[in-house]
Chains A and B, each alone.
Chain A
Amino acid sequence: MNKNDVPQDDGSLARKNVHELCYAVDEHGRYTAVPSRGWEAKTLALNESLKLIDERIAATKEAVEAGMRSPIAYYMELHRMDIPLLASYVGIHRWFVKRHLQPKRFGKLKDKTLQKYADVFGITVAQLKAPID
């Protein structure tokens, strides 16, 4: 890659005024590090991945509203987690975490357990129980 070919397509990094270094050759054939503002090709790949996450969040939200899953499932998706990861954050075995995703079991949970989940998601117990906005 030539120094002048380093892409400067404004990506999500540039908006935060962060650049990333690319290595490229200058006019004398010497390698130098050149800051880049982003590249469209990878922004497209990243957006595809983010779209997938958004679709999962939306689907889970519908399932929660339809009474199929508990709010924990929604916040889990929102924080880009899966069951084993959430289990290690709350310190509850994933078999139980999986059960807590059922609305019936969720309704029976003690405040102490709910507090653990709320802490991981950075919200209050009341918010966890409330309908999703």
Chain B
Amino acid sequence: MDIAFEHRQSAHCENGVISNLLNHQGVSLSEPMVFGIGSGLFFVYLPFLKVNFAPGFSYRPMPGSIFRKLARRLGIKVVHQRFSTPEKAQAVLDGRLAQGIPVGLQVGVYHLTYFPDEYRFHFNAHNLVVYGKDADGYLISDPVMDYTTKLTETELQRVRFAKGALPPKGHLYYLERLPERLDLENAVRKGIRQTCKDMLAPVPIVGIRAMKWVARSIRKWPRTIGVKKTNHYLGQLVRMQEEIGTGGGGFRFIYAAFLQEASALLNNEALATRSEEMTAIGDAWRDFALDISRIYKSRKSGNDVYEKLSEQLMELARREEQFFKTLKKDV
């Protein structure tokens, strides 16, 4: 079995899988479009949840949420299935492939053999597409990779049934039905409105308010938890912001690309201006990451370094607050 499936690389796995599955059905939707319609831009701070010995920071919503929102807004019917045993999971996957349907899978990263060692953490919300099977195993289109890869049956079973937080339990999904006409204009507007609402949410752990909370904490950390831990926390923040998948600047550049496309689609000049502003904000996030990384390089760690970082993040929060208040009025 080998389905003619076009592999296109993307920055983020979830956007990429959606974009590639849609493309297979003849719907051409770019990664930024998928990201924007699914309201992918986000910020959340979970100080009580420890991930990799640091508090949880995330620049994106819960895994699966982009896909769910996109499907709802465009009226696409998606079938999701989870399984109690690996045998059943494999049988259903093989069945769908035999019907010529490319299948999306949620997998754990740790046992993915084609990933570099440095990136193999116990993280269970990675996505890829299986588009065929031959004598050696499954043909894999992993959207963060330049090229397609392969996994044996045993390897695939292991990543599909990875354990830990958010276990995939063999989670598979595929597109069942597409609407006759895609109402992109409305979907784009809904996506933008939701993002503004999320970022300006009156909740301390979400959006602008969460950024301000982190900024205030950066100032206190060296005193309360010590310099070593502070540096580790900041490192985690940089990794969540810049590691594979964000397209740089904590998804801000992908979002700017989306606003540019949206501007052309909706014939809305204001959105083009917003796109340029978002690019500038993304650049400021890059500077923030760069300044954090200087701590590791120079080993310079006077308290004023953290004061400055704190002020930098606070300024970013203020800029984004202004940005989303304006954006809200543009759609």
Contacts from A to B (Cβ < 8 Å): 1, 6, 12-13, 15-25, 29-31, 33, 35-36, 39-42, 44-50, 52, 79-81, 84-85, 88-89
CB-CB under 8 A from B296, the residues of chain A are: 44-45, 47-48
The answer to whether A48 and B121 have CB atoms under 8 Å apart is no
**Chain A proximity of B175: nearest CB distance (Å):** 23
A79 closest partner in B (C-beta): B110
Contact of B242 with A by CB under 8 A: yes
- B248-279 vs A, CB cutoff 8 Å, 1 = contact: the mask equals 11000110110011000000000000011001
The answer to whether B247 and A48 have CB atoms under 8 Å apart is no
Binds A, one of B72-80, B204-212, B230-238, B318-326: B230-238
User: Measured between alpha carbons, how far is A6 from B190 in the docked complex, in Å?
Assistant: 31
A120 closest partner in B (C-beta): B163
The answer to whether B235 and A85 have CB atoms under 8 Å apart is no
A56 closest partner in B (C-beta): B53
The answer to whether B164 and A42 have CB atoms under 8 Å apart is no
A30 closest partner in B (C-beta): B260
Cβ contact of A48, chosen from B110, B231, B289, cutoff 8 A: B231
CB-CB under 8 A from B245, the residues of chain A are: 20
With A41-B242, A49-B52 known as contacts, the answer to whether A12 contacts B118 (CB < 8 A) is yes
The answer to whether A89 and B243 have CB atoms under 8 Å apart is no
**Chain B proximity of A27: nearest CB distance (Å):** 14
With A1-B249, A85-B122, A88-B164 known as contacts, the answer to whether A20 contacts B254 (CB < 8 A) is no
26 A–B contacts, CB within 8 A, in A order: A1-B249, A1-B283, A16-B116, A18-B116, A19-B9, A20-B144, A21-B11, A22-B248, A23-B253, A23-B256, A25-B279, A31-B275, A33-B247, A39-B242, A41-B238, A42-B238, A42-B239, A45-B234, A47-B296, A49-B232, A50-B118, A79-B110, A80-B110, A80-B120, A80-B121, A85-B163
The answer to whether B239 and A46 have CB atoms under 8 Å apart is yes
Closest 8 CB pairs of A and B: A31-B257, A41-B293, A23-B253, A45-B238, A88-B163, A45-B235, A21-B11, A42-B242
The answer to whether B116 and A42 have CB atoms under 8 Å apart is no
Contact of B2 with A by CB under 8 A: no
B163, B232, B282, B289 interface centre (most CB from chain A within 10 Å): B163
The answer to whether A44 and B293 have CB atoms under 8 Å apart is yes
The answer to whether A13 and B247 have CB atoms under 8 Å apart is no
User: Measured between alpha carbons, how far is A49 from B256 in the docked complex, in Å?
Assistant: 30
User: Measured between alpha carbons, how far is A39 from B121 in the docked complex, in Å?
Assistant: 20
A36, A39, A42, A46 interface centre (most CB from chain B within 10 Å): A42
**Chain B proximity of A133: nearest CB distance (Å):** 19
User: Measured between alpha carbons, how far is A121 from B207 in the docked complex, in Å?
Assistant: 40
The answer to whether B231 and A41 have CB atoms under 8 Å apart is no
CB-CB under 8 A from A24, the residues of chain B are: 248, 253
Cβ contact of B293, chosen from A20, A42, A84, cutoff 8 A: A42
B50 closest partner in A (C-beta): A82
**Chain A proximity of B293: nearest CB distance (Å):** 4
Contact of B6 with A by CB under 8 A: no
B118, B256, B257 interface centre (most CB from chain A within 10 Å): B118
The answer to whether B146 and A19 have CB atoms under 8 Å apart is yes
The answer to whether A80 and B146 have CB atoms under 8 Å apart is no
The answer to whether A18 and B146 have CB atoms under 8 Å apart is yes
With A18-B116, A42-B238 known as contacts, the answer to whether A23 contacts B146 (CB < 8 A) is no
CB-CB under 8 A from A49, the residues of chain B are: 52, 232, 235-236, 239
Contact of B244 with A by CB under 8 A: yes
CB-CB under 8 A from A88, the residues of chain B are: 163-164, 167
Interface residues of B in 36-64 (CB under 8 A from A): 52-53
The answer to whether B256 and A31 have CB atoms under 8 Å apart is yes
B110, B231, B245, B253 interface centre (most CB from chain A within 10 Å): B253
